[in-house]
Amino acid sequence: MHFPLPLLEDVFDAVGESEAQIFSVLDLFSGFWQVPMDPDSKHKAAFVTHHGVYQWKKLPFGLMNAPASFQLVMAEVLRGLNWKHALVYVDDILILSKNFQDHLDHLQDVFHRLRTANMRLKPSKCDFAAQKVTYLGHVITKDGVQADPSKTEAISQFPCPRDVSTLRGFLGLCNYYRRFVHGFAKIAAPLNNLLKKDVPFIWSKQCEDAFESLKHALTTPPILAYPSMSKPFIVSTDASGSAIGYILGQRDSCNRERVIAYGGRSLNKMEKKWSISERECLALIEAIQSFRPYLANNKFTVLTDI
């Protein structure tokens, strides 16, 4: 099964393009278990117990292609609505509307589709007709998107790593929200260095400072603006001895510059030997490549130290 899951950036961009003011979040009740297994595929997911061999009647959690299969099912259920008045990511549905009356109509439409497909919701995990909702670990409003504080709380409570495995787990949590942190790659460079092969795990003051800086940045994240494809963009770049960073921004209706996304990465051994001008050029090239979906066929201004 080759059916792509939506990119988070595409989901949030679609929210901005909709100019929605009212949102609802729907969560399916054990979504995978509402999809029957194909009779010819049941034996492929069979499992053995001391009572015998069993086969799943419904799509089980844990299969490699289960998310893609379920995404395809939901795309068919919401055909014609998906990416317009509804966004679906596996079993999480976001309904968005410009006003309350339209929202009621969109809810009815989605409910009708789910009822026809014999799919059930979990009411306790649904949120209806709100101006602020939590979706896919992010807080969504008409003004922009922000990291969910309840999720970043786990980062703030994370204990000081004492081995590579624990550090890799911490950085995995942080990477999910790296687009909200200015200079993420530069801040995280001392920590990423400890993950390299043949590098001894020595927790220095530099590592401790990086650890605390990331925790602070991710527990006080900014609200990122939605992009407008009808306005010019602003690309800001920066380079240091260990990393490159770049920012995609845009001016709002009050002529204030708003950040849409942060990006960047650590430099490899060879790139660290380059001159500052070469590193600044690298930052610009990678910024344009990273933000290509926004910059292609659009005017943009570059702010750099070159």
pLDDT at residue 206, rounded to an integer: 95
pLDDT at 305: 82
Q: Which of 186, 174, 200, 140 is nearest to 20 (CA)?
A: 140
Q: Domain 8-142, what fold?
A: Alpha-Beta Plaits (3.30.70)
Question: Which pair of structure tokens corresponds to residue 208?
Answer: 């401790």
Quick one: pLDDT at residue 61? Answer: 87
Q: What is the pLDDT of residue 32?
A: 87
What pLDDT score does 128 carry?
A: 97
Please check whether the two domains, 147-219 and 233-303, share a CATH topology.
no
Q: So what's the pLDDT on residue 115?
A: 95
Residues contacting 284, CB < 8 A, separation 6+: 235, 237, 246, 302, 304, 306
pLDDT in tens, 246-262: 999 999 988 999 999 99
Long-range pairs, 139-144, Cβ under 8 A, ≥24: 140/12, 140/15, 140/23, 140/94, 141/223, 142/19, 142/20, 142/21, 143/223, 143/225, 144/223, 144/224, 144/225, 144/226, 144/258
Collect all residues with Cβ–Cβ distance below 8 Å to 37 and sequence separation of at least 6: 45, 55, 56, 57, 58, 59
pLDDT per residue as tens digits for the range 294-303:
999 999 999 9
Please give the Cα distance from 223 to 137 (Å, whole number): 14
Phi and psi at residue 277, to the nearest 5°: -65, -40
Task: Count the residues in the chain.
Answer: 306
* Residue 258 near residue 231 (C-beta atoms within 8 A): no
d(CA 29, CA 139): 22
* Ranges under pLDDT 70 in the chain: 1
Could you tell me the two tokens for 144? Answer: 């922009």
Q: Which CATH architecture has domain 147-219?
A: 2-Layer Sandwich (3.30)
pLDDT at 31: 84
Q: Which fold has domain 233-303?
A: Ubiquitin-like (UB roll) (3.10.20)
Domain ranges of the chain: 8-142, 147-219, 233-303
Q: In the prediction, which pLDDT does 96 show? A: 96
